[in-house]
Amino acid sequence: MTITDLRGNPLSGADRAAATAYDTALTQFNLYSGDPIATIEPALRDNPGFVMGHALKAWLNLLGTELPGIEAARAAHAAVRARPMTRQEVGHVEAIGHLIEGRFHAASRVLEDVAIEQPHDMLALQVGHQLDFFTGNPRMLRDRIARALPAWSRATPGYHAMLGMHAFGLEEMGEYAAAEASGRAAVEIEPRDGWAQHAVAHVLEMQGRQADGIRWMRTNPEAWSKDSFFAVHNWWHLALYHLDLGEIEQVLALYDGPIYGAQSKVMLDMVDAAAMLWRLQLRGVDVGKRWQPLAEGFAPAAGAGNYAFNDMHAMMAFVGAGRRDLAEQVLGAQARAMAGRDDNAAFTREVGHPLTRAMLAFGDGNYGEAVALIRPVRNIAARFGGSHAQRDILDLTLIEAAFRSGQMALARALAAERVAVKPTSPLAGLFVRRAGLEKRAA
């Protein structure tokens, strides 16, 4: 008898108990909840030839973008690559091998083909979606999921996750109405779907709908934050609305509470914390000693140089904490990364290194240099990953550097650009006033 997952995908080397564990772990991954690695581990001990169990473990470790995770994925890959497997499973194992060696684009393409042939392969779809995020590929964020959706319905387990992923892809492509509808539908089906919750949060952020955003995030936070690996990022989105409104006390309370009160050492959480503190300092807010514990959290990865997006945020923390020693480690690691042959060499060379240097220059008070480093890169910055909302920190830093370097013509241009995109944004209005554009209009 062929053992399958709950969507009918064959599971080589699994017994029924292992298949149940796989379904549970994958559902946890869909919701970014619990500990899916701990869930799948007993099944792997009892079924050492369980191909997709090892694949799930490898993917979960790789998606953290941290060096220890790469080594754990390497062990999972070695445990399974010589086992009997289906063509579908071969695709996963091949893609894992690519990502272990830093070939993001190749891994993404292999999973694309897996999902084209097997549109019910939720793991291929969700991992592929994350790789599209890491490589800054908005069209594939949308279309990878859109291709598979006709094979799904509300009766298919996990349908909410498909709607949530599609919502995020639509948002990153600027299709805001469709994105909001899809994301809200996903949350209606499954209120714990933190990715769908966040997709709608992105729409409201990009449209400058601060009050709607606060209402959306505060209506049922228990659902999207309890036992959620993605909770910090969603709290970060709530803080963005308050920051735009100039409600600094609320932002600091969120930072000291659910964003970084626990001082998480998870890279994704530290990236959010650094991005929020940097935004606060751009607003002229004294963040006190908050940079120091964050810099200590980033310190073990200062020399990693394995993902340029992380490097830039680590640099923010080191600049904020005055840790020049760690800042120099980041630049050294990037120099080594740029000499490599993997995809991160290009991410770093084309985008990450100039932006990381720009953050250091800004921290040193060399605002003209920061402007010169950011301007050629900001329009191609998607190449090193992140979302529009996350990369907005580049525009904010550029605007502030233009003001502080006395480049008022540029500052006026950038202020006009921003208010045209977000006419209801109080922060955009602040830039307009600083640039003297209101007087010119009068």
Q: Tens digit of pLDDT for each residue in 151-181?
A: 999 999 999 999 999 999 999 999 999 999 9
Please tell me the predicted confidence (pLDDT) of residue 225. Answer: 97
* Structure tokens belonging to residue 285: 């807010």
Task: Report how far residue 291's alpha carbon sits from residue 239's, in angstroms, rounded to the nearest whole number.
Answer: 17
* Banded model confidence at residue 440, pLDDT cuts 50, 70, 90: low
Q: What is the DSSP letter of 228?
A: B
Picking from 80, 84, 1, the residue whose alpha carbon sits closest to that of residue 40 is 80
Task: Report how far residue 361's alpha carbon sits from residue 368's, in angstroms, rounded to the nearest whole number.
Answer: 9
Residues 216-226: tens digit of each pLDDT: 999 999 999 99
Please tell me the predicted confidence (pLDDT) of residue 442. Answer: 41
72 touches 88 (CB < 8 A)? no
Q: Which residues fall within 8 angstroms of residue 234, CB to CB, at 6 or more apart?
A: 194, 197, 198, 201, 217, 224, 225, 228
**Residue 388 identity:** H
HEC string of 134-188?
HCCCHHHHHHHHHHHHHHCCCCCCCHHHHHHHHHHHHHHCCCHHHHHHHHHHHHH
* Structure tokens belonging to residue 154: 């509300």
Q: Which residues fall within 8 angstroms of residue 334, CB to CB, at 6 or more apart?
A: 305, 308, 311, 348, 352, 353, 356
Task: Report how far residue 134's alpha carbon sits from residue 105's, in angstroms, rounded to the nearest whole number.
Answer: 10
* Banded model confidence at residue 384, pLDDT cuts 50, 70, 90: very high
Assess whether pLDDT exceeds 70 at residue 441.
Answer: no
Residues 81-122: tens digit of each pLDDT: 889 999 999 999 999 999 999 999 999 999 999 999 999 999
What is the average pLDDT score of the chain? 97
Task: Report how far residue 370's alpha carbon sits from residue 363's, in angstroms, rounded to the nearest whole number.
Answer: 9
* Banded model confidence at residue 438, pLDDT cuts 50, 70, 90: confident
Residues 201-253: tens digit of each pLDDT: 999 999 999 999 999 999 999 999 999 999 999 999 999 999 999 999 999 99
Burial of 404 (0-12, 13-18, 19+ CB in 10 A): middle
Task: Report how far residue 26's alpha carbon sits from residue 43's, in angstroms, rounded to the nearest whole number.
Answer: 13
Task: Report how far residue 201's alpha carbon sits from residue 15's, in angstroms, rounded to the nearest whole number.
Answer: 40
* Banded model confidence at residue 141, pLDDT cuts 50, 70, 90: very high
pTM of structure: 0.96
293 touches 250 (CB < 8 A)? no
**SS3 of residue 340 by DSSP:** coil
Q: What is the mean pLDDT of residues 64-71?
A: 94
- Determine what percent of the chain falls in helix, strand and coil, rounding each to the nearest 5: 75, 0, 25
**Residue 28 identity:** Q
Size of the chain in residues: 442
* Structure tokens belonging to residue 434: 């600083």
On the CB side of 108, how many CA atoms lie within 13 Å of its CA? 19
Q: What is the mean pLDDT of residues 26-43?
A: 97
Assess whether pLDDT exceeds 60 at residue 134.
Answer: yes
Please tell me the predicted confidence (pLDDT) of residue 439. Answer: 56
Assess whether pLDDT exceeds 90 at residue 311.
Answer: yes
136 touches 115 (CB < 8 A)? no
